[in-house]
Structure 1
Amino acid sequence: MLRAEWTKIRTLRSTVITLALVFVIAVGLGVVSLTSVRIAFERGLPLVREDFEPVTDAMVSVLYAQLALAAFGVLVICGEYGGGMIRTSLTAVPSRGRFYAAKIAVCASVALVLSYATVFATFLTAHWTLGKYGPSWSSDGAIRVVLGTPLYLTLLCLFALGVGTLLRHTALALTVVLSFVFVLSPLATVVPGLREVAHYLPDQAGSSIVKVGQQADPVIGPWAGLLVLAAWTAVSLIGGYLVLRGRDA
């Protein structure tokens, strides 16, 4: 089953392209944005935010790349529903629990390996691009950010997988997942009465692992934030399993 799931991922153009975009966006956008930051520093231009933190800001491009990884999580399951392959898969593996567990395991493995490669490459690129203004391994929070950010990305990917299993429709699932990141979270942070809740939304809580210094979340700590995201992910995956078990393909 694990081999079959891996074969599906590496042979589908949509998933391969989406995974490639994760790395390209994180590293490529990082080089472009941080080059402008270095130029601003060197020329004394007042364009850099006052709470600039080399370690956290080095990961900004990764937080954009997370959208591609979330899309991958959705496509892992919704691609089968969209193409009708789900019937073949469930015929080959009648136990829906084993089928779902294999899909989660392979998705998590791919996301984790890619995330570590992407985060390490992004960090090293930031160090090279920013020069003396950039992060180093001895910077405050650097080790935690480099080791913890891939865990955040992987959990978010699995959260998207669970949402995709619940909804069984690529566009709808992507809309829901991206709405958390682009609409609900930003809106909650500026609306009075919702700001306290915003800290516990999936992406807000999980991304606290990336923030250090002045940008650190004053309400929820980095590892506590990951636990909150893990809880969201567990609920999403369990909900997906219940729907998968109870509905026809």
Structure 2
Amino acid sequence: MTHTMRVLKSEWTKVRSVRSTLWTLATAFIVTVGLGALICALTESGFGDRSPADRRTFDATFISFAGMGLGQLAMIAFGVMVVSAEYSTGMIRNSLAAVPQRSTFLWCKMLVVGPLVLVIGMITSFVTFFLGQALLGSHGVGIGDTGVLRAVIGGGIYMALISLFSVGITFVLRSPLLAFAILMPWFFLVSNILGQVHATKKVAEYLPDQAGTAVMSVVPETLNRPYGPWEGLLIMAAWTAAALVAGFIVLKERDA
């Protein structure tokens, strides 16, 4: 077994042996699917009360992802915990002693965490969509309709990116309390507030979550962004890449 394979096996063991990390992924699935289903059911029952203008711009695909705002918090928690567990337990010293090549250590962690959150994100996104459309009834759309498959796949990628962004930020901060104190309020509250205030709205459109959610929109009027859905996801990917690079720089330059 090569050195890299041993490191990958070690990182996988770390992830699956800590129950709290796996529970956060389960929570992300349950919250996103459950809240999305509830909102779709309520939307269908009250659809007749909508104005003609609201009906014309109704985005059945986007409404099925309404639970992702809370579900993403669990994905953020997962990203924080897979890194902070190293620092809070002092395991980081043993990890870096066993893998002195810090780039190898980081990339092996990414090769374990990245595919895992992508798979969970995709499963969550597809289940959320199909259940939501079933509950919307005649107001729902099909996976083969224009832009829908892109939105569903994009939703899964979004959940993976938000988790990887949190991994990078936690490597920078090296503290679970600080990471949670910054990331949770920011994505749950601050980012949304900035997006609603006229003076900061144009800046907020380029924040990672605000840009990333554009990919889940099929009706342009839903989000009214100055860029397209894939461009929005690329903006979020750039934020994620920047966070991971910053995390690597801190990991490389600072002592464990």
TM-score tier by shorter-chain length is over 0.9
Q: Paired residue for 1:24, among 30, 37, 52? A: 30
Q: TM-score, normalised by structure 1?
A: 0.93
Q: Paired residue for 2:250, among 236, 243, 246? A: 243
Aligned length: 247
Contact 2:73 2:188 in 1 (8 A): no
Q: Which structure 1 segments of 5+ residues have no match? A: none
Letter of the aligned partner of 2:134 in structure 1? W
The change in CA–CA distance for 1:192 and 1:32 in structure 2 (over 3 A counts) is closer
Contact 2:214 2:229 in 1 (8 A): yes
Contact 2:205 2:225 in 1 (8 A): no
Letter of the aligned partner of 2:145 in structure 1? S
Compare 107-116 and 211-220 and name the one that shifted more.
211-220
Map 1:116-131 → 2, pairs under 5 A: 116-131=122-137
Write the distance in 2 (CA, Å) between the matches of 1:87 and 1:131: 55
Contact 2:36 2:63 in 1 (8 A): no
Write the distance in 2 (CA, Å) between the matches of 1:200 and 1:13: 35
Compare 120-129 and 135-144 and name the one that shifted more.
135-144
Write the distance in 2 (CA, Å) between the matches of 1:115 and 1:133: 25
Compare 67-76 and 215-224 and name the one that shifted more.
215-224
Corresponding residue for 1:199? 205
Write the distance in 2 (CA, Å) between the matches of 1:230 and 1:101: 17
Corresponding residue SS for 1:86? helix
Write the distance in 1 (CA, Å) between the matches of 2:68 and 2:198: 29
* CA drift at 1:45: 4.0
Q: Paired residue for 2:171, among 136, 156, 165? A: 165
Cα distance per residue 1:21-51 (max 9 Å; x no partner) = 011111122222222222223xx3459x924
Corresponding residue for 1:221? 228
Corresponding residue for 1:86? 92
Write the distance in 2 (CA, Å) between the matches of 1:234 and 1:159: 8
Tell me if 1:105 matches 2:107. no
Tell me if 1:184 matches 2:190. yes
The change in CA–CA distance for 1:32 and 1:231 in structure 2 (over 3 A counts) is same
Contact 1:199 1:220 in 2 (8 A): no
Letter of the aligned partner of 1:3 in structure 2? K
Tell me if 1:3 matches 2:9. yes
Identity of aligned residues (%): 39
Letter of the aligned partner of 2:100 in structure 1? P
Write the distance in 2 (CA, Å) between the matches of 1:183 and 1:238: 26
Q: TM-score, normalised by structure 2?
A: 0.90
Cα distance per residue 1:207-238 (max 9 Å; x no partner) = 11012212043312111111111111111111
Corresponding residue SS for 1:193? helix
Q: Which structure 2 segments of 5+ residues have no match? A: 1-6
* CA drift at 1:203: 0.5
* CA drift at 1:191: 2.8
Contact 1:66 1:153 in 2 (8 A): yes
Corresponding residue SS for 1:94? coil
Contact 1:126 1:135 in 2 (8 A): no
Write the distance in 2 (CA, Å) between the matches of 1:113 and 1:96: 26
Corresponding residue for 1:154? 160
Write the distance in 1 (CA, Å) between the matches of 2:178 and 2:141: 39
Tell me if 1:96 matches 2:93. no
